[in-house]
Structure 1
Amino acid sequence: MTGHAHVVTKDAGRTVDLGVARMRVLADEGVTETFSLTEFAGEAEGPWTVPHLHHGFEESFFVLEGEFTFTVGGEPLAAGPGTYLLVPKDTAHTISAGRGGGRFLTLMVPGGLEKMFLELGELPPNAVTDPVARKEVSARYDSIPV
């Protein structure tokens, strides 16, 4: 049996505007049962998320453009283009963009968290950084604000 390649070109893929950034889905459970891969991009400086953790999955980030500070387990980590970062399960983390924003890939193993961002995109702008709005939606997706 022969498989078929899954291809998402530069301007394709389901996209949601989260206010501070846009998320583009590159691979989700419709493509793979193992992981989800998304791209986040935006021009906003400052927090792109609230401090949170995940009990059931790991998240990895690969910075493509811009300067970010990932605070993982209370430790701020500067990350520029070419930086890869793995956040273990049960570890609090947050992401803040430097001046001019930037762009990074997010790999979630196992996948599914992209559904939370799609839902947050249906709420008022910047719900992704609003602890109250985020708490209600996040609980369904193992993304627990701390």
Structure 2
Amino acid sequence: MSSQSFVLQPGQRSPALNVVGVRINVLVSDTDSAAQRITLQSGEEGAGPPPHCHDWDESFFVIRGQVLFTCAEQRCVCAAGTLVHIPAGTVHAFSFGPGGGEMLEVTGAGSQAIPMFRALDREVPPGPLDVAKTVQVAGEYGLVFHL
């Protein structure tokens, strides 16, 4: 696949995915770039995934609010302007702080994050969380929860 330059205006984004309470807008997918994938993630206070790991690196840049990250058992409250890099295989979690928040997520080639987000949006309905279904669907993309 060869990447081509493009401009994505605010009104051109696809509708946000709902992934267990986190709104995820896909900004750059594997069909847009061979090298990276970018999502815009936002959520209300407390929203975010429990401890988990996967076989791709990811980096987050906090745009608005605060996000509590736990990486390899270290906890850090990250304000807007903070960059967090998480190597593949590292157990991590995050949750949005008071008033909610927003951040960019960047992953590289080989990441299964966006296909997993799409599957979770499609197969795990909003409402009370179906933990078994969430674990099953995420596991199909190489994500392992550490509950």
* TM class by smaller structure: 0.7 to 0.9
After alignment, is 6-15 or 93-102 more displaced? Answer: 6-15
Secondary structure of 2:12 counterpart: coil
What's the CA shift string for 1:94-120, capped at 9, x where partnerless?
Answer: 011111111000001223311111111
Shift of 1:130: 5.3
Change in CA separation of 1:120 and 1:94 when aligned onto 2, cut-off 3 Å: same
2:78 matched residue in structure 1: 79
Q: How does 1:1-146 map to 2 (within 5 A)?
A: 4-14=4-14, 15-18=16-19, 20-42=21-43, 44-55=44-55, 57-110=56-109, 111-122=111-122, 123-125=124-126, 131-146=131-146
The RMSD of aligned alpha carbons is 1.9
**Cα separation, 2, equivalents of 1:81 and 1:45:** 15
Secondary structure of 1:46 counterpart: coil
Change in CA separation of 1:35 and 1:85 when aligned onto 2, cut-off 3 Å: same
Secondary structure of 1:117 counterpart: helix
Secondary structure of 1:11 counterpart: helix
Ranges in structure 1 where 5+ consecutive residues have no aligned partner: none
Q: Is the 8 A contact 1:36 1:112 kept in 2?
A: no
Change in CA separation of 1:45 and 1:26 when aligned onto 2, cut-off 3 Å: same
**Cα separation, 1, equivalents of 2:107 and 2:4:** 22
Secondary structure of 2:9 counterpart: coil
**Cα separation, 1, equivalents of 2:20 and 2:29:** 22
Ranges in structure 2 where 5+ consecutive residues have no aligned partner: none
Q: Is the 8 A contact 1:66 1:98 kept in 2?
A: yes
Shift of 1:126: 6.0
> Matched residues, percent identical?
27
Q: Is the 8 A contact 2:71 2:93 kept in 1?
A: yes
